[in-house]
Amino acid sequence: MTASLCTFSFIPLRSEPSECSELISQLLFGDTYEIVDSNDNWVEVICDFDGYRGWIDKKLVEQLSASEIEQWRKSEKWIVPAPSVEIVCEPGKQQQVVPAGSCIVFNGQESNSFCVGSKEYYLAPGYKINGKKRGVEEIAMSFVNSPYLWGGKTFMGIDCSGFSQIVHRIYGNDIPRDASKQVEIGRTVDFVEEAKGGDLAFFDNEEGVITHVGICLGGGKIIHASGSVRVDMFDHIGIFNVGKNSYSHKLRVIKRI
């Protein structure tokens, strides 16, 4: 087997084949990946969605055929909205929480069920797939108070670039994983006063390295993951933390995706 997909709520993606190694990102439910290397207990993978490369525990690899993976890859996907949905696995009616930004390939347009290998899943009763499309700002606000977690991409723990990536994925824009790559896309917004909801604001350090990203809300406000997902004021200087009465991040550029 050279590929698989994540059937857990999420799988930690680590820099080295060790549980003590740095968490660099996460695979979310439904993410497909290529297996490029392995040892006794770990496999090195590349996530199809954003090209991120890292190591995952071999015990978390679902044994699927090449045709099943290819079918999932090419099929139209439903992106789980924020913050999560609950799915049920048959047999046994085992329940599982699937975080926002995960992807599901349903059995049909009118179906709320889907299959992964020999397992059949369906959405928990009462959940409607087809709802009103939400704006980027509304999606982002549903993550408020999620704790900061380096390498995280879920409401249970998320970092700044994971936050901007997942929010835009739910909205319908696929963007890179890291802020240093996100800043390379989109159109530059020349003035803070022209920033609109959904624009990405990037911040750098004294060496000019991009170290932070947030999502503009309009009206001089920004939502970002710093300690937790929070709303702060920002201007041409950067992000102003009212609680600390000081600027926490220095503005570099604003981009419209």
Q: What is the CA radius of gyration of the chain?
A: 19
pLDDT in tens, 62-103: 999 999 999 999 999 999 998 999 999 988 899 999 999 999
CA dihedral over 121, 124, 126, 128, signed as positive or negative:
negative
Please give the share of the chain, as a percent, with pLDDT higher than 70.
99
Q: Which CATH superfamily is domain 3-123 in?
A: SH3 Domains (2.30.30.40)
pLDDT in tens, 41-62: 999 999 999 999 999 999 999 9
Contacts of 45 by beta carbon, 8 Å cutoff, 6+ apart: 13, 27, 33, 34, 35, 36, 53, 54, 55, 56
Angle at 99 between CA 254 and CA 68, to 5 degrees: 105
CA dihedral over 129, 130, 136, 141, signed as positive or negative:
negative
Average pLDDT of the chain to the nearest whole number: 95
Beta bridge partners of 229: 225
Catalytic positions, written as ranges: 160, 212, 224
Stretch 165-171: mean pLDDT: 97
Residues 128, 47: Cα–Cα separation, whole Å: 29
Stretch 6-31: mean pLDDT: 98
Asked whether the bond before 83 is cis by omega within 30 degrees of 0, the reply is yes
Residues 108, 25: Cα–Cα separation, whole Å: 31
What would be the CATH architecture of the domain defined by 136-256? Alpha-Beta Complex (3.90)
pLDDT in tens, 97-133: 999 999 999 998 778 999 999 999 999 987 777 767 8
Please give the share of the chain, as a percent, with pLDDT higher than 90.
91
Q: Where are the domains of the chain?
A: 3-123, 136-256
The pLDDT value recorded for residue 127 is: 78
The pLDDT value recorded for residue 163 is: 98
